[in-house]
Amino acid sequence: MHLHLSTWAEVEQFLQRSRVIVVPIGSNEQHGPTGLLGTDWLCPEIIAREAEKRAEILVAPTFNIGMAQHHLAFAGTISLRPSTFIAAISDWVRSLAGHGFEKILFLNGHGGNVASIEAAFSEIYAESSFAARRAGVALKLCNWWDLEGVGELARDLFPTGHGAHATPSEIAITQWAFPDAIKLADYAPLIAPSGPIREALDFRARYPDGRIGSNPGLATPEKGRALVELAAQSLVRELEAFGSETQPD
């Protein structure tokens, strides 16, 4: 069940059965010479969509712009500041918790989002903690590449050249989902350099074509399919486990 294709009455009924919702969250940012700008929000959206075909879960609209300040020197990147990101996540959570959702899982597609999402969770919880009341909602961050088995599969598929940004895993997933948007390029060097992440101009100087440590040329749509299927199955289990978790008194 997709929230945006449902009516309010249908959601009200869903809440009789379950208090769990998954929010795909990512970023719109450069992904090297061949990666789509939407890669990081498309991957969790694709995985959530496949999971929705397999089980009765509720998928929220995709939170498609995240924290990508370090990619801003490459055209097409759109970033929120962490403070804006935190405020927006808070509003999403307050909206959903107000309807009675008690477990909100953010399925994340961008490593650069992790710190700000966790900071947002703490900002939300802090409101309850300062007031000495229960939050009434449990928040969980889950990167799609950390879903059960997915990391192992990625290492099997790409024993070298996986890297940290514009990885063959994420490129493969979007190739499978958008076969008409597969791009080709010569990568030089084949495996991109690695190093620290700072502000945008520093980033572009270190990583001239945008990749970090990766060889996206290893991606194929078929490998993408395998990753998505496994991730979707693991996501369903993750949501079940999260949903059945009880709060201590």
Stretch that binds a second copy, among 143-151, 156-164, 175-183, 220-228 (CB under 8 A): 175-183
Stretch that binds a second copy, among 122-130, 145-153, 154-162, 221-229 (CB under 8 A): 122-130
Q: Which residues have C-beta within 8 Å of that of residue 196, sequence separation ≥ 6?
A: 206
By CB under 8 A, is residue 237 in contact with a second copy?
A: no
Residues 150-169 that bind a second copy (CB under 8 A): none
Helical axes 168-177 vs 221-244, angle rounded to 10°: 100
By CB under 8 A, is residue 175 in contact with a second copy?
A: no
Q: Min. distance of Cβ 159 from a second copy in angstroms? A: 26
Residues 20-39 that bind a second copy (CB under 8 A): 28, 30-38
Q: Min. distance of Cβ 247 from a second copy in angstroms? A: 6
> Which residues pair with residue 20 across a beta bridge?
103
CA distances from 81 to 38, 44, 67, 85, 165 (A): 18, 21, 6, 6, 20
Cα angle, residue 59 at apex, residues 28 and 21 outer, rounded to 5°: 110
Q: Min. distance of Cβ 141 from a second copy in angstroms? A: 10
Binds a second copy (CB under 8 A): choice among 54, 55, 56, 98:
98
CA–CA gap between residue 172 and residue 174 (Å, rounded): 5
Residue with Cβ nearer a second copy (94 or 155): 94
Which tokens sit at 166?
A: 């514009």
By CB under 8 A, is residue 190 in contact with a second copy?
A: no
Binds a second copy (CB under 8 A): choice among 151, 194, 202, 226:
202
CA–CA gap between residue 143 and residue 2 (Å, rounded): 20
Binds a second copy (CB under 8 A): choice among 15, 164, 191, 226:
15
Count of residues that interact with a second copy, criterion CB under 8 A: 94
Number of neighbours of residue 207 by Cβ within 10 angstroms: 24
Q: Min. distance of Cβ 188 from a second copy in angstroms? A: 14
Helical axes 168-177 vs 150-157, angle rounded to 10°: 100
Pairing between strand 20-25 and 138-143? unpaired
Number of neighbours of residue 40 by Cβ within 10 angstroms: 31
Residues 54-93 that bind a second copy (CB under 8 A): 60-65, 67, 69-70, 72-84, 86-88, 90-92
Residue with Cβ nearer a second copy (97 or 153): 97
Q: Min. distance of Cβ 153 from a second copy in angstroms? A: 25
Binds a second copy (CB under 8 A): choice among 18, 49, 119, 220:
119
Calculate the CA 53 to chain-centre distance. 19
Pairing between strand 103-108 and 20-25? parallel
